[in-house]
Structure 1
Amino acid sequence: MNKWIRGTNATVLSLAVIGIFIVLTIFLSSVKGLQVDLTQNKKFTLSDQTTQTLQALDKDVHIISLTSDQTDPYIKRQVIDLVQEYKKRNGKITFDEYDIIKQPAIAKQYETDPSGTLVVESGTQKKTIYYYDMFLPGQQQGQYKFSGEEKLTQALVNLNSKEKSKVYFLSGHNEIPLSSMNMWKSGLEGENYEVKDLNLLREGKIPDDASMLFIIGPESDVSDKEAELIKTYLNGKGKLYLALGFNKDMATNWKNIDAIMAAYGIKDQHAVAIEPKQSMLYDPLTIIPEYGNHNITSKLQQYNLLTMMTLAVSLNADQPVADFPVTSILKTTEQAYGETDLKTLANSSRSVKDANDVKGPLNLGYVVEDKDKKPKAVVLGGSTLFDDRVIAQQGNRDFALNTVGWLQEQQNQVTIRPREGDAIQTAMLTAGQGNMIFYGTVLVFPFLFLIAGGVVWWRRRKG
């Protein structure tokens, strides 16, 4: 009789515990927004800035993930998980996934990358985020930083911005064409800029709606009449983004470009920066500048993202203009020097330091403000970093977008610290070790538990 009572009590207690778990599970599932992030890097915890953005979102937003067989499944999982967290917190967000190989008709509607693309659209507005832009290299080999939240939240913030600024890229002087800067152009369009090409010979003037004029990589000088149009534009509210190209005759043939810079107290030293330090990853003509203390570069320094420049021209601002204070944002090391024999450099790509060269450290980039401390110009000694073949490396794209954002006085920039992530740990096992783990977990350990359970049952039965 006692055994029957004990058995009944055990059964009732077991059913009660199971019932409690069922009721608790139903209750927790019914409570919206309740979750506890137990992951090591808090990968499912959104920042306050993101939470506020989602709370303020009052329009329907469609997020689309476009991937292929070239998309890393681990990277894809993190991006998808992030979007799902956004979707949970605002019912106006819908989310769809497509394979660009299996569904090419959908892929043609967007600018996709085989490694993965995220499209955020609302009505006629559309923002494109590439998967590789969300992952930054970490401090140690194999580690990474995931900045997907910052990119996605910035896209949502930009969707709420109704104004589009028109910016014009000058052409006609062997500048880098817009067709070779698609990634930068796409990034600018994602930041609510309308990007257009401008040939002054054809148009005859700088359009009245131009909020910014870009001159990227000119290899020849602008004409006297073009220079007058540019100066007139800049004497008003116009803003300039100038990134020099390379010409072996720049010392004698760039009088108008030099005059435009001189109006802000910046001098082209007609010397190409050379970094004697040898590296297997880049040649002496490729410079990894040090950052100056400025809002443009502060995040790049914080995340240890480098900017790369090739055939960069040395600049100087030792005779400042009172109305236009300048700040250096890119500088070489003291070991670098400026090669002034440009013809020899152009013919042989080699340089030997001599007494005629400019001593380091060299300035490779300045920002200019007006007398009211408002952004007026960005002047860089090099332009190769904007090319599609280079801009994806390290911090080039972020630097390019940061400089434009500063010049345009963007006030809605999102700053969210990237999450640290460890590399996937791979265990190298032999076939024998793999079989041992399989049989141990599938057969041996369950069998041992059965034996232990049988022994306990037998001893209790015996009394």
Structure 2
Amino acid sequence: MRSVKILPAHWPSLRSLFWTGPVLLVMGLSAGFVSGTWGPIVLGLLTPGMFICSLWLWFQVTGQRFWSQRSTQVGGNALVATLAVLVILGLVNFLGVRYDTRIDLTEKQLFTLSPQSQQVVKELKQPVKVWVFSGQLTSPDRSLLENFHRQNPTQFSFEVVDPQAQPALVQKFDVKEFGDVFLESGKRRQFLQSVRENRLSESKLVNALAQLNNGRQTQVYFLQGHGEHSLESGQGAFSAAVKALEAKSILSKPLNLAVTGKVPGDASVVVVAGPQQTLLEGEAKALEAYLKQGGNLLLLIDPNTNPGLETLLKSWGVTLDNAIAIDASGRGQLVGLNPAAPLVTHYGDSPITRDFGNNTSFYPLARPLEITPVDGVKSTPLLLTNEQSWAETDLQSQDLKFDANADRRGPLILGVALSRPATSSSSPSPAAKPGATPSPQKPESRLVVIGNSQFAMDGLFDRVLNGDVFLNSVTWLGQQHDSILSIRPKEDANRRLTITTEQGRLLSLLALGVLPLLAFGTATFLWWQRR
């Protein structure tokens, strides 16, 4: 007769306690892998876990027909499955802590920094700290600052300050109200914005950082006096463009060369936006002299106009066609554009357009450009139409049809960026305001010519990439920080639905009257069919 070992009577109650062994083992292993250290706490979890598991195995092995029992097999499977799940969860948590990966599923990638922002933060040359004087920071604002910090943890940091708890800092930064945000780098401090009513702007922050990298202020002058677009709000104005430049910490001023005679010495860029009358000979020569001194000029010239800059453009190898670009592909009509407003999806390899990809911009009534090679001048086409476009020379005709004898087949160049070494040194102009800091001219002159000005006026500036073409052109011409040129940081899309009173009444009638009656009628019909 075989001897049978009898387990203690209280074995069933003790068996449930043995589950603490695997739990302690998993906790210890997870803590060790995640923290990367195997200190007293980790060992304090692993040691009793191993002891309890060993004790459980000893009790089970000494029992009768242990391995052949069905309960042993079921319990072993359950134990293995439980341990596998716990190990997987531990590994997932370990990988999540060790490798920080974020996936932005929003339509416009609102929680991902733009390429421009990432480049600016990565190239910070000195530590920069953002001070937010607010009792608390909203989740989107904190997420934005944390995204900046991740790009360059050693150079970018931020701190949220309670103004009531730290009055010394409030006095140091001259804080006016709760929510003020300041940027500090070394001894430089500048007010950024207030987050009391508005969210923290990625655009304002990245442009302030770029300004710190550059070390000087960009000053843009808009030529006036020849029918150019106004800088004030109004039909056909450039007020949206001016506001966008201000958001990039770029100052804008009007310029009348008939009064000043010379381009001011602090001019980083001069913009000639859609002149309707011919410039005076002295004004054209002033622009030529400015370019020779290492200046930077943006020309936006519409069809059927003569700005009187033929000599200047010829020296750079640019000719303005007396024609209109026609897009016969039909793609523009899908978004409400006519053939005389070519839709551009092909861009040149320039810092201005390099990150545009296949995104779109459009140019109502644009004139093509012809580029001729000139010694010492580097030219890069910016805006290229498709192969189904042509340059229409008959500007009076209402019937748009390609004429092989007179018209030029596409692709057409609508914009070009040019550069060449400066031919003379510059000196501060007497036209500059007293006390103004002259903008140090570069040994390189830059010129951007676009055969259209309407793409950047109010109402069209914020459409697709139109504003980016203008802003990136000005930034490239300013020669401050070529590597930050990219698509502007994206803003939230306004998805609020605005309806009239009549539409509201109609929706109420449908919701409270028509739909219930339709449901009741359907139910009545089904009941009648089943009778």
Unpaired runs of at least 5, structure 1: 65-75, 97-108, 110-117, 135-147, 420-463
Unpaired runs of at least 5, structure 2: 1-9, 37-95, 162-175, 423-442, 490-531
Q: Which residue of 1 aligns with 2:158?
A: 93
Question: Of 19, 37, 44, which aligns to 2:100?
Answer: 37
Question: Are 1:300 and 2:360 an aligned pair?
Answer: no
Q: Which residue of 2 aligns with 1:396?
A: 466
SS across alignment from 1:175: coil
Q: Aligned-pair distance for 1:308?
A: 1.4
Question: Could you tell me whether the CA contact under 8 Å between 2:364 and 2:452 is conserved in 1?
Answer: yes
Q: Aligned-pair distance for 1:310?
A: 1.1
Structure 1 vs Structure 2: percent identity of aligned residues? 26
Question: Are 1:317 and 2:371 an aligned pair?
Answer: yes
Q: Which residue of 1 aligns with 2:227?
A: 174
Question: Are 1:266 and 2:294 an aligned pair?
Answer: no
Task: Tell me how far apart the structure 2 counterparts of residues 54 and 255 of structure 1 sit (CA, whole Å).
Answer: 42
1:323-402 residue pairs with structure 2 within 5 A?
323-342=376-395, 344=396, 351-354=400-403, 355-371=405-421, 374-402=444-472
Task: Tell me how far apart the structure 2 counterparts of residues 210 and 324 of structure 1 sit (CA, whole Å).
Answer: 22
Count residues in correspondence.
Answer: 354
Structure number with higher strand proportion: 1
Question: Could you tell me whether the CA contact under 8 Å between 1:170 and 1:214 is conserved in 2?
Answer: yes
Q: Aligned-pair distance for 1:45?
A: 9.4
TM-score of the superposition, structure 1-length normalised? 0.62
Q: Aligned-pair distance for 1:37?
A: 2.8
SS across alignment from 2:322: strand
CA 1:160 to 1:267, structure 2 compared with 1: closer, same or farther past 3 Å? closer
1:125-140 residue pairs with structure 2 within 5 A?
126=192
Question: Could you tell me whether the CA contact under 8 Å between 2:384 and 2:412 is conserved in 1?
Answer: yes
CA 1:159 to 1:83, structure 2 compared with 1: closer, same or farther past 3 Å? same
Residues 332-359 of structure 1: per-residue CA shift (max 9 Å, x gap): 23332222233x26xx6x6343343333
CA 1:94 to 1:412, structure 2 compared with 1: closer, same or farther past 3 Å? farther
Task: Tell me how far apart the structure 2 counterparts of residues 328 and 17 of structure 1 sit (CA, whole Å).
Answer: 66
Q: Which residue of 1 aligns with 2:271?
A: 214
Question: Could you tell me whether the CA contact under 8 Å between 2:192 and 2:204 is conserved in 1?
Answer: no
Q: Which residue of 1 aligns with 2:190?
A: 124
Q: Which amino acid aligns with 1:258?
A: E
Question: Could you tell me whether the CA contact under 8 Å between 2:207 and 2:247 is conserved in 1?
Answer: no
SS across alignment from 2:268: strand
Question: Of 74, 78, 81, which aligns to 2:143?
Answer: 81
Question: Could you tell me whether the CA contact under 8 Å between 2:273 and 2:300 is conserved in 1?
Answer: yes
Residues 214-254 of structure 1: per-residue CA shift (max 9 Å, x gap): 1011122212232232223223222211011244xx3xxx2
Task: Tell me how far apart the structure 2 counterparts of residues 6 and 418 of structure 1 sit (CA, whole Å).
Answer: 64
Q: Which amino acid aligns with 2:459?
A: R
Q: Aligned-pair distance for 1:380?
A: 0.9
1:270-289 residue pairs with structure 2 within 5 A?
270-278=322-330, 279-281=333-335, 282-289=337-344
TM-score of the superposition, structure 2-length normalised? 0.55
CA 1:356 to 1:51, structure 2 compared with 1: closer, same or farther past 3 Å? closer
Task: Tell me how far apart the structure 2 counterparts of residues 60 and 216 of structure 1 sit (CA, whole Å).
Answer: 37
The RMSD of aligned alpha carbons is: 4.5
Question: Are 1:6 and 2:69 an aligned pair?
Answer: no
Residues 407-463 of structure 1: per-residue CA shift (max 9 Å, x gap): 2333363479999xxxxxxxxxxxxxxxxxxxxxxxxxxxxxxxxxxxxxxxxxxxx
**Structure number with bigger Rg:** 2
CA 1:152 to 1:415, structure 2 compared with 1: closer, same or farther past 3 Å? farther
SS across alignment from 1:270: coil
Task: Tell me how far apart the structure 2 counterparts of residues 50 and 205 of structure 1 sit (CA, whole Å).
Answer: 34
CA 1:95 to 1:220, structure 2 compared with 1: closer, same or farther past 3 Å? farther
